[in-house]
């Protein structure tokens, strides 16, 4: 009996793992992929892929283009992602402050958090009257330590403390980048801390470089925003010893 139960759990875990691998592979493609391509990417048997794709399609997690025969992620995945982002306490508490930052600077204000070795944008606020903006959207993911937001967060994490390139960020409390993720785009960001004084997010603005010739001019406003969000999370400045 115990062996049978263990076998069922093992089979269930294996199926789940295959399903997650399939969704991950689809998430890496912009235009979707065929069964043949997914078999090459995931290493899964085509019969297994067809069963998984059929189930995911029925539930709305995957869609299929009848003309190209390519599969891509469906809206159900997006809905899950949005719910996960909305559940983040830092996102909920930062919303009003982020809107104020966007309106006062006239640029796109973004909040990002860490996901293992990556940084993920979880909230974006656009100013009311801005035609040209930088493509930094909710769900956008890139390696941790890249972009102003990534550097601002990594500089205050344990694994970034020994990085000499981040020393200036730690001294200033704010990170600047220019033409890094995208040519013609610049960013200014600062870390957000929780009640335990741990860096849990980064907040700042991204803008066309031409509109941000002196990023230092908005650094104080970004730092004030980061501090306000941190205080909402329970962070308090250290008391000066007498």
Let me know if residue 239 belongs to a domain: no
Let me know if residue 150 belongs to a domain: yes
Let me know if residue 7 belongs to a domain: no
pLDDT tens digits, one per residue of 204-233: 999 998 888 888 999 999 999 999 999 998
Let me know if residue 237 belongs to a domain: no
With 90 as the cut, is the pLDDT of residue 184 above it?
A: no
pLDDT tens digits, one per residue of 77-102: 877 776 666 547 888 899 999 999 99
Domain containing 48 equals 12-79
User: Degrees (nearest 5) of the Cα angle 201, 205, 209?
Assistant: 140
Query: What pLDDT was estimated at residue 166?
Result: 93
With 50 as the cut, is the pLDDT of residue 47 above it?
A: yes
Under the banding of pLDDT at 50, 70 and 90, the label for residue 3 is very low
User: In the chain, how many H helices and how many E strands?
Assistant: 8, 8
Q: Which stretch of 11-20, 39-48, 116-125, 176-185 has the lowest confidence by average pLDDT? A: 11-20
Whether residue 63 is found in the same domain as residue 131: no
Helix 2-27, helix 46-59: angle, nearest 10: 80
State what percent of residues in the chain have pLDDT above 90: 49
C-alpha span between 220 and 200 (Å, rounded): 20
Whether residue 150 is found in the same domain as residue 211: yes
Q: How many domains does the chain have?
A: 2
pTM score of the predicted model: 0.67
Cβ atoms < 10 Å from Cβ of 85: 18
């Amino acid at each position: 009996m115990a062996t049978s139960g263990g076998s069922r759990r093992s089979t269930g875990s294996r199926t789940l793992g295959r399903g997650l691998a399939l969704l991950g592979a689809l998430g890496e493609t912009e235009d979707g992929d065929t069964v043949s391509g997914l078999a090459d990417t995931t290493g899964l048997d085509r019969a297994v892929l067809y069963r998984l794709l059929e189930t995911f399609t029925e539930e709305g997690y995957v869609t299929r283009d009848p003309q190209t025969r390519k599969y891509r992620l469906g809206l159900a995945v997006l809905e899950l992602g949005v719910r996960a982002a909305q559940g983040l306490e830092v996102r909920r508490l930062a919303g009003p402050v982020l809107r104020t930052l966007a309106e006062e600077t006239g640029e796109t204000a973004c909040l990002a958090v860490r996901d293992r070795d990556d940084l993920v944008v979880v909230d974006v606020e656009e100013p009311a009257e801005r035609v040209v903006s930088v493509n930094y959207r909710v769900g956008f993911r890139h390696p941790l330590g890249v972009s102003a937001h990534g550097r601002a967060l990594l500089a205050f994490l344990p694994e970034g403390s020994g990085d000499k390139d981040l020393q200036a960020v730690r001294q200033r409390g704010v990170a600047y980048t220019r033409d890094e993720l995208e040519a013609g785009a610049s960013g200014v960001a600062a870390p957000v801390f929780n009640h335990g004084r741990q860096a849990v997010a980064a907040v700042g603005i991204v803008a066309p470089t031409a509109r941000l010739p002196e990023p230092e001019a908005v650094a104080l406003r970004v730092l004030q925003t980061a501090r306000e969000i941190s205080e909402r999370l329970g962070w308090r400045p250290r008391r000066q010893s007498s």
